[in-house]
Amino acid sequence: MVASPMPASQTPSAKMRSRARAALIFGALVIALALGIRQAFGLFLEPVVRDFEIGRASFGFAIALQNLVWGLAQPFAGAFADRYGSGRVIALGSALYAAGLALATVSRDAVALDLTLGVLIGLGLSGTTFAVVLGAIGRLYPPERRSVALGIGTALGSLGLFTVVPGAQLLLEGYGWVPTFLVLACASTLGIVFAPGLAGRPENRSDETRLSEAGSLGEALNQARRHGGYWLLTTGFFVCGFQLAFIATHLPAYLSDRAVAGWVAGAVLAVIGLFNIAGSYICGVIGARMSKSKSLAWLYIARSAIILAFLVLPITPVSALVFAALMGLLWVGTVPLTSGLVAQIFGVRYMATLFGIVFLAHQIGSFLGAWLGGEVYEATGSYLPVWIASMALGLVAAALHWPISERPISDQAISEQGGAARSDAVA
């Protein structure tokens, strides 16, 4: 007997596939610009501190505030994207990003730096990075392809870390930090051009991506609030933010303090971005084939081991570049695994909101990592206590991720209903 063909409603349309590919490409470009520029801020620490006649702690606080504002605004940006589509959020975020960079060039004190590099760019990042962009991508791909798609989007977005940082360093060396900021401000407006590629209401997604998920945002939030694994995931993501913000903000200055050649500071940030491309894709593939929570646990253990080796071995250009390469492989590999886990458990309808809340914890960690790095240095003349804290927190994060249940909420509900029915039958 010849099997009947699959109904048209179950076959992904060419239009939907084309839309998904376009969202992946344009989304990656938006992330690349936003994160590439953000990754370069560590290069500006010394020239800005010198021109403003402030301490490293003041610059570190501005970047820390940026991360905190980014995190606080992220759930709201995600909720807006879940309701009205990601395109509008991305366009607004790109405009705020450009304004923050441009206005920073006319700032002349630490308070103005907090408002521009801190508040405006923090708001801009909330509309142009992972939660909003990956939420749009995740809705357009079926479950069996979603983790890989999120990994590809994150990996392509990481091209910005590799391309923007060297370009920013060349501009900084040739023209100074003010003209460089103005060029980066112009570049960030390209996000407005790319935004239509991720436009459209969230309900317009293919049938195969529809899951048995919450019907309203309130129901989704209640499901997450009652799910123990969601809180473990959220708490663990705090550690990722702490580690990444501390390293991105203070590693160039740390190397300078140890008389490592000046070109190495820009090179290590670029190498992190280069290896992050492969690492993000690999983590996405791993997430499609293996336990996402266990993979996250091993990733944090590996980070702690790499930091320990970096602290123990002599600091040279070679050791710095090797450290950057190994950390790059694990840099934002947490993102496809973490966002994929949120989608797997709760579905994709409110993925941007729920991942946005998880990301808030990441940014609280980022605030502390960037800020405490400067404060501890000013107080002790050394970054060593923060390096040790980063290593210890990595082990804590591994322990938090290990027990997370990855079963979808819909499966858990069915299981609970089945158990209740059997109890009624016995009674």
Q: How many CB atoms lie within 10 A of CB 385?
A: 14
- Alpha-carbon torsion 205, 93, 170, 270, what sign? negative
Q: Is residue 6 part of a domain?
A: no
Q: Is residue 84 one of the residues assigned to a domain?
A: yes
In a domain, 348, yes or no: yes
Per-residue pLDDT of 187-245, as tens digits, reads: 999 999 999 888 766 554 443 344 445 567 788 889 888 888 999 999 999 999 999 98
- Asked if residue 316 belongs to a domain, the reply is yes
CA distance 4 to 242: 54
What's the domain range around 77? Answer: 21-202+216-410
Q: What is the mean pLDDT of the chain?
A: 84
Domain count, the chain: 1
Above 60 in pLDDT, residue 1?
no
Mean pLDDT of 352-372: 87
Q: What is the pLDDT of residue 82?
A: 82
Residue 8 placed within a domain: no
pLDDT in tens, 297-323: 999 999 999 999 999 999 889 999 999
362: amino acid identity, one letter: H
Whole-angstrom distance, CA of residue 82 vs CA of residue 88: 11
The residue-averaged pLDDT of 105-122 equals: 91
**pLDDT computed for residue 412 by the predictor:** 52
Query: For the whole model, what pTM was predicted?
Result: 0.73
Pick from 3, 409, 16, 18: nearest CA to 208: 16
CATH number for the domain spanning 388: value is 1.20.1250.20
The rounded distance, in Å, linking the Cα atoms of 65 and 412 is: 39
In-domain check, residue 109: yes
Euclidean distance between CA atoms 153 and 281, whole angstroms: 8
Which has more pLDDT, 412 or 140? 140
Residue 420 burial by Cβ neighbours in a 10 Å radius (0-12, 13-18, 19+): exposed
**Residue at 10 is within a domain:** no
Q: Which of 131, 169, 193, 105 is nearest to 359 (CA)?
A: 131
Residue 426: inside a domain: no
**pLDDT of 148 higher than 90:** no
Check residue 277 and give its pLDDT: 85
Closest CA to 32 of 194, 219, 148: 194
CA distances from 334 to 125, 194, 374, 389, 400 (A): 18, 25, 25, 19, 14
Provide the percentage of residues in the chain whose pLDDT is more than 70.
89
